[in-house]
Amino acid sequence: MAMESATNGESATIFKQLEEYQWDKDREFQGGLAAILGPNPQPSQVDDLTLRAQCFYLSRKLSIPIDFTSYKSYLLSKSQPATTSEPTTTASTSSDPNPNDDPSAIIPDWQLAYAGAPPPPPPSYNTPLPSTHATEEENINSVGAPYPKSFADIVELITSGKPIPGIKDIPEGVRPEQASIPVLPKRRKPWERDVPEAQIQGLIGGLFGDERDTYIPQELPDA
């Protein structure tokens, strides 16, 4: 359907529809307006952005052009007495284009149509990632681990025969002098139900297999 210019009388009728339309109950408009205003809108721009969105929304619904500046002048003429001759700051600046009033930078998708601005460019994925070398050193310093900073340092310590920090020296074989002394009593085995408790604990006599608990030193082959 071709869009035709509205006469002054038709403009007044359209402006009245804009003014009396129940915008609060239109979920589609409220969703678009929230995207236009963003999370932290500037109070000085809320009114203009809202009026622009209303003009654009109804213009698409009725398929007719609606001039935002004329509608804003229409609202100002209704809010001011007819005898007043002093122009307000809002009226004097409404006809001048202000880059801050252009909502194209924050309006996504369909709302960009009335501003005539292209959609925002996609994010760049060519930004180089920060080096992880410094991050690894910071993590080592913050945790306080005594390990060397790189594998080359470990190789140098091994080839030079120096001890590697953070590695515990484990002796070869079992040392009987460092063995722990058992403090819990021995448990009775199923076949020892008739054996006296003192004999089970090794206080008197002996049982078959007790000698296997004795440590037998072993000779390890030379490396």
164 vs 148: CA distance, rounded Å: 8
The domain limits of the chain are: 8-115, 133-164
pTM for the model stands at 0.34
**pLDDT range class, residue 14, cuts 50, 70, 90:** confident
Model confidence over 125-158: pLDDT tens digits? 555 555 555 555 555 454 445 555 667 777 777 7
Rounded mean pLDDT of 18-36?
84
